[in-house]
Amino acid sequence: MKNLICLGVLTLGLCISCQPKKQDVSVAQPHKKVMLDGLNHPWSIAFLSADEALISEKDGHLLKVNLKTKEKQILKGFPEDLTDSIRVVNLGDNSGIFEILIDPDFGTVPWVYFSYTAKKPGYGTTTKVVRAKLQNDSLYGHQTLLEAEPYTQEYFHYGGGMVFGPDGKLYVTIGERLFWERDEPELPIAQDLTDKRGKIYRINQDGSIPEDNPNLGPDAIPGIYALGIRAAQGITVQPESDKIWFSEHGTIQGDEINILRAGANYGWPNVTSGKLRSTDYTPPEIEGATFTPPIWFWHHTVAPTGLTFYTGDEFPQWKNNLIVPGLSRGSLWRFQLENETIKSAEELFIDDRVRIRKARQSPDGKLYILTDEDDGKLIQITPLNSKLKL
């Protein structure tokens, strides 16, 4: 149309404004650059430096990798109660190794923190958080920080997301572990403060309970920081505000982005942005409960997971944006924020969809993603400059 309007306007003698000014501008477009492949469903990455990192493989091992030499070392000394991976297609999260973090003071005390599915023969499995010291390619001096009993036969929604807060405390997501809501007890698991599942925890680095945790009553399990969680995995700190943001897997259209607040109840299964899976289930009324709404939810299934804030320099337009990988749609979401409001959402890599488990930034400000595949990849998102004539 512009050309045609221009033609009309030309005849009116006003066409100067239609003439394109000749000016080349370089615009950076995001591009995927595979840095490592052959990973077995990688779940998380913790950078030791710009070129060296630890990677957890959900269906494999804890690895130490070098991005320059492409070398991979399997870390020795992973706890022996790790569950053999069980793959249940399209029925939620599976067991395996989840988050890997290094100690905020790693140079002094070489602790690494990891979450995984632990098994107890005859009972089942649950999520466990352990820290151990790293020396070369070995783990030693293990300490169990959190064990989300009960061990059950349900293989779903372990949670396992972890982050160190700006306060140095360890925040851990533990999933509700149920697939069907009709299997809920009278007081739903995630609403029950005497049940470890379906909660977010705040603990000290040695697993002890911080004295300034919210008071959730005498019967509440120590360490609980928030409740009403279904299957949160992604959890990250917003550098600008020191707030903690986390993702939540919904059932049907209930995928959410939330901000973590002390003592907050995120509502599962009583309120959800989506629909319950069991059409014959009605949650009971929870007396006195106040539910905290999400910051954002999608109108379709995205399966958002290991999110991060972008603070790098390569994509100036993305500065301080929230980056959210998706499993179901396999794309990378970029959210522009103003305080706690999402102003715009960009879905990237629509033409190259692949299950993305984690987005993380390296110490030198590069953005990386991990793909949840048999031949999983560590991919760097790099700017590919293209010239535009303005």
Question: Restricting to residues 46-75, which ones interact with a second copy according to CB under 8 A?
Answer: 46-50
Contact 87, 108 (CB under 8 A): no
Closest C-alpha among 339, 245, 238 to residue 292: 245
Q: Please report whether residue 295 would count as binding a second copy according to CB under 8 A.
A: no
Please say which residue, 88 or 342, places its beta carbon nearer to a second copy: 342
Query: In whole angstroms, how close is the CB of 377 to a second copy at the nearest point?
Result: 19
Please say which residue, 26 or 153, places its beta carbon nearer to a second copy: 26
What is the footprint of a second copy within residues 97-126 (CB under 8 A)? 101-108
Task: Name the segment binding a second copy (CB under 8 A); options: 17-25, 90-98, 197-205, 271-279.
Answer: 17-25
Query: In whole angstroms, how close is the CB of 212 to a second copy at the nearest point?
Result: 19
Q: For a second copy, which residue of 66, 85, 164, 241 counts as binding (CB under 8 A)?
A: 164
Task: Name the segment binding a second copy (CB under 8 A); options: 41-49, 79-87, 152-160, 267-275.
Answer: 41-49
- Joined together, the tokens standing for residue 80 give 């022996």
What is the footprint of a second copy within residues 170-229 (CB under 8 A)? none
Q: Which amino acid is located at 106 in the chain?
A: F
SS3 342: strand
Please say which residue, 29 or 138, places its beta carbon nearer to a second copy: 29
Query: In whole angstroms, how close is the CB of 123 to a second copy at the nearest point?
Result: 34
Q: For a second copy, which residue of 83, 236, 272, 371 counts as binding (CB under 8 A)?
A: 236
- Distance between CA atoms of residues 4 and 207, nearest Å: 69
What is the footprint of a second copy within residues 335-374 (CB under 8 A)? 336, 338, 341-351, 360-361, 363-365
CA angle 343, 344, 347 (to 5 degrees): 155
Query: In whole angstroms, how close is the CB of 222 to a second copy at the nearest point?
Result: 24
Query: In whole angstroms, how close is the CB of 121 to a second copy at the nearest point?
Result: 36
Task: List phi, psi (to 5°) of 324.
Answer: -125, 115
Closest C-alpha among 126, 116, 225, 133 to residue 170: 225
Closest C-alpha among 383, 384, 373, 278 to residue 36: 373
* CA dist list (Å): 338 to 44, 247, 280, 322, 343: 28, 18, 40, 11, 7
